[in-house]
Every structure is written in structure tokens, then in C-alpha cells.
Amino acid sequence: MIRQPSVLVLNDGATFEGYAAGHLPDEGFTSGEFVFNTALSGYQEVITDPSYAGQIISFTYPHIGNYGVTPLDDESLRPWCQGVVMRELSHVPSNWRSVGPLEGFLRQHRVAAIVGVDTRRLTRHLRAHGALPGAFGHGDPSVVAAAARTALGTDNTDMVGRVSTSEIYTRGAGAHHVVALDYGIKTTMVHQLAKRFRLSVVPAATSAEEIRSLNPDGVFLSNGPGDPAALGEQVRVLEQLLGTVPIFGICLGHQLLAQALGGCTFKLPFGHHGSNHPVCDLATGRIEITAQNHNYAVEPDSLVRGVVSHVNLNDGVIEGVSAPSERCFSVQYHPEAGPGPHDARYLFERFDDALRDGATTGV
């Protein structure tokens, strides 16, 4: 296949050469914040994860697309990322589940890509300098470079409104009713909850009064994109709900819950994006291998209420908080996986237990 040359430029001037793939935007470029993901498989789940809104995903694994795509692996109705960077894109997918090649999927959803990039060099650059805005494209290199200089990151940006549902929808038929605040909820997360509960997924902008009117037995806080510090209204809703109903948060939901407990967040240099992060449960000493996708984390020692429950063994980042008196807990990583290991799926059972305890005690 003959491809047009493409260039990738970060806003610090670093330049990488490659070839255009996927959707070719009319402007000749696409821009966003570059992050790298270390997962060895699960590229479709990664690309369709709403938490990547505003970002361009660079895969560190050198061969992407080898098993094609299937609607069964979508984590949302469409990809929300700005683009994809790959070393090599497979043209001939081979898997019994595949319904087509990855490039056709990218074109269908108008996602730009660049292939043939030295992704090892790009990863090392992002590790040294942090997640950086930039641009890539098949247009005039000077135009791409100019777009890179004005590209924006995710700092101080509320992106939840872009990806959240606009209407309430329901799933499952369990004994307990859970209201899930959709900050960018993944399909696998919905599946895990619907297996256990009667689930109502509501828009991120839903008020505390509206949530109470649904008479939930528990509230779930989903993953999502952007800077948690820009979501003050969502934090105020959680402050009103604390102590009234069991709450379980994941990823962005964890960061928002920590803020409602008096904590604050900060941006990691290059984030955690992958499926092999070791996490320690401080209460049991148990080590879990986890899937992660976040650029922000809870500031150490910032919690006014609650305690740290889990930590990342690679860099000590807070991976979980718990406030038993407020009947809430959360984790920074993704126990639902999709993609990733299933070591932490017990947390959904822990949430189920919290709801059962509430029903037993009448709280």
C-alpha cells in the first residue's frame, strides 16, 4: 500500500516522520495531547475509551491491528481520541472474531493515524518531558508545525460534557438499584455493574436532588477524561451525597471523590496508561496487576477525611481511598479491565457487599 508521507511535531519542536493512515482530515493535520499506552493487546478498547478525549494515543507495542476489530470490543459508541500513533499497522487481520481491519475502523470513525513512527523514541521523549501537546498530519509540514505550537493539553479543561450521556438509560435487573454518574463510562464497566445491580446511568451534570429522586441504594462514579480540578460542580454534588448512600468511584470518579473528601489532584508527568501496573492493597498486603489510564492523581497527604487504601508499586502514586464513616471508597485503576487483567474485579463485589450491609442495617 502506498501511503502519503506524514509528520508528527510536538510543541517543544521535536519532530518524527511517518506515513498517513486512517482518516485523512481536510485540514491536513490533527492536534491534541500525546500520551503513550504500554498494553500489548486491546488496542480497540483503548481507542474507544472515552477517557482519551482530547488526546493522541501512541502505542508502545510495535505491531497493532493484527487481530482486526469487532463491535464486541467497543468501549463506547465511537472513539473519542484525537488520533493514533503506531510503529506498524497490520493490513491482514487474523482472528475468528474479526469483522474487519483496524484501518477501516479508523476511517469509519474519522480517526487520523500516523504509522512508521519510531514510537520507542517518542515514548522516551514523553517520559523525559511529560505528556505534550502537538500535531501530526499529511499536510504541509510548516502547517503541521504551526498547529503543534498552538495545540492544547488537558490542563484545566472540562471534557466530561463531550463524552457523557445526554439521557438516562437503564441496564440490569439486580435486587439493588445503583445510579452511575457517567463522566465517560466504559461499556465493560456498565456490563460489570449490570451483572450485579439494577443500573441507571445518568448524565454527569445530574444534581444531587435528581439522584436522590431516583432512590438509589448506591452511587457509582465512572472514569472520564480531562482535568478533575476543572469539575467543581461535580465535586459539589458528591459532597452533598457523602454519607447518605454507599459510593464507589473508579479513575476520574476516584479523583472527584477524593476532592469531595477534602483532597486535591495534580498532573503526573506522563500518566499511567497500560495493563500491567502493580498495585498494593494496604489493608491486606495483596498485590494486584491492574489496567490504568489516567494523567492525574490524588495529591499525597491532601485528604481531610478518609485514608489511602491502595498505592502504585512503581512510583508510590495513590491508587485508592476509603472513608468508612462516609460509606465510600474508590480506586484510581480499572478493576473492570477491558483490556487488562481481572485481578481487581473483586471490588465490584465489595460494592455489592456495601449495599447489602446498608439494606441489612437500614441505612
Question: How far apart (Å, rounded) are the C-alpha atoms in residues 255 and 317?
Answer: 12
Catalytic one of 176, 273, 294, 334: 334
What is the amino acid identity at position 2? I
Judged on CB neighbours under 10 Å (0-12, 13-18, 19+), 92 is: exposed
DSSP3 helix / strand / coil % (the chain, rounded to 5):
25, 30, 40
Catalytic site residue from 138, 251, 254, 319: 251
Count of CB atoms situated within 10 Å of the CB of 324: 10
Is residue 342 among the annotated active site residues? no
Task: Determine whether 334 is an active site residue.
Answer: yes
Does 319 participate in catalysis according to the annotation?
no
Residue in 45, 288, 319, 336 annotated catalytic? 336
Cα dihedral sign, 269-252-39-52? negative
Q: Which residues pair with 63 in a beta bridge?
A: 88
Q: Can you say whether residue 205 is alpha, beta or left, with left for phi > 0 and alpha for psi between -120 and 50 degrees? A: alpha
Cell 518524527 found at: 16
Are the C-beta atoms of 132 and 104 separated by less than 8 Å?
Answer: no
Closest CA to 165 of 249, 212, 222: 222
Closest CA to 319 of 338, 339, 343: 343
**8 Å CB contact between 56 and 42:** no
Question: Which amino acid is residue 241, in one-letter code?
Answer: L
Cβ 279 vs Cβ 286: under 8 Å: no
Question: What is the rounded (10 degree) CA torsion for 233, 238, 244, 250?
Answer: 150
Q: How many CB atoms lie within 10 A of CB 326?
A: 18
Q: Catalogue the active-site residues.
A: 251, 334, 336
